[in-house]
Amino acid sequence: MFLRFLQCIVIASVLVAAHARAAALPASEGPTYDFAAAQAAIALAQRWQAGQPPTEPQWQALIAMEAYQLVFSISSLTPDTLRQRFRLAFDPAATHEWKNVSEFEQQDIHHLRRALNDTQWLQGEIRRLPREQALEKSITLAQRWLPADSTGKPTGLRFVFGLFGQNAHASAQGVVMDAYLNYRSDQHAPYELGAHELHHFFRRNIAVTPALDRDSVLDRLADHLIHEGVANLIDKQRFLQPGSPFSQAIKTYLNTAMTAAPDNITKLNQHLETAIESQQFDTFSAVQQDALPLWGHSVGWYMTQTIVRAGLDQALANSLTQPRDLFRLYNTAAIQLNEELPLFSKKVLQAYAKRAQQ
């Protein structure tokens, strides 16, 4: 997610190419809840703790499993980074080295170690999720924030689990999650982590007319903001609560970004106005680095929270079919609340209205 962790979760949540493949793929085969990679990872980690580091073929066999291939394809996590994380977590000869890595990477190492303190939780998860119909309940939570006419359940949707750190990702076949994170998250906020990622999956199957132009900075900004902003309504408030499984460092980082969201809306409006006037658009990366920390998680969530506080919930859900309308909807809510919130200029609203009609 952040620094290392939040970057991972954000990138995983919003990478367009991986999500876009979902509509083209056939229904996935296999169980609704696939724990094979999590079981294999725990077995490998236990051997490593006992002084038996994996051979290269053993490691390659692990990372070739579906859960890990999905994680690598839709996030910034790499096989080398994962191997290093496992080594620092489980190799007795490396116990002193983990202090040299970033605070957020340390949290993932602690997470992996806690997962192996008592692995009975995994057998409990294997029994619990089907018994509680966790996938169906996550789908219901996700559908709360979808247009009313787009709430069908795609065939073959499933949860795939590995063991890799405090992360979850929307994949082409459904959702891939760290199994221990899902276990801890469901104890605190049942089914919300899966629902957040499922919302991304559903979102990519909603038709936008006219279609979004991936080469347009305006369109990409609208897409990122609504993509993360709406999904965050499902789980991020409880994510920040004291009892959630995420570290205090991560919670502090997100809270700081949310405090800065009004100023970042002002910055974003300035970027957009300058670009519209000059017809010289900064790269998406340049705008993101200056005005959209966390790839739109904080600014997008601030905007959607404002819209919800104004009672425009259904209008927000419906706007997923037309993400360019998010800016107008946010302004309407901000003015209605009469709280001197930052606004987007008339010039920006007109530019988006024009793009929506092309």
Q: What is the pLDDT of residue 3?
A: 37
**Residue 168's beta-bridge partner residues?**
177
Q: Is the pLDDT of residue 8 over 60?
A: no
Q: Is the pLDDT of residue 300 over 80?
A: yes
Structural contact between residues 104 and 6, judged by C-beta atoms closer than 8 angstroms? yes
Q: What is the pLDDT of residue 38?
A: 98
Query: CB neighbours (10 Å) of residue 231?
Result: 27
pLDDT level of residue 17 (50, 70, 90 thresholds): very low
Q: What is the pLDDT of residue 205?
A: 82
Q: Is the pLDDT of residue 181 over 60?
A: yes
pLDDT level of residue 10 (50, 70, 90 thresholds): very low
Q: Is the pLDDT of residue 293 over 90?
A: no
What's the average model confidence in pLDDT over 345-358?
94
pLDDT level of residue 358 (50, 70, 90 thresholds): confident
- 28-32 long-range contacts (CB < 8 A, ≥24 apart) are 28/156, 28/157, 28/158, 28/173, 28/174, 29/156, 30/158, 31/158, 32/130, 32/135, 32/158, 32/159
pLDDT level of residue 15 (50, 70, 90 thresholds): very low
Tokens of residue 98, six digits: 């983990």
Q: How far apart are CA 238 and CA 35, in angstroms?
A: 25
For the chain, the average pLDDT equals 88
**Burial class of 207 by CB neighbour count within 10 A (0 to 12, 13 to 18, 19+):** exposed
Which pTM was predicted?
Answer: 0.88
Q: Is the pLDDT of residue 173 over 90?
A: no
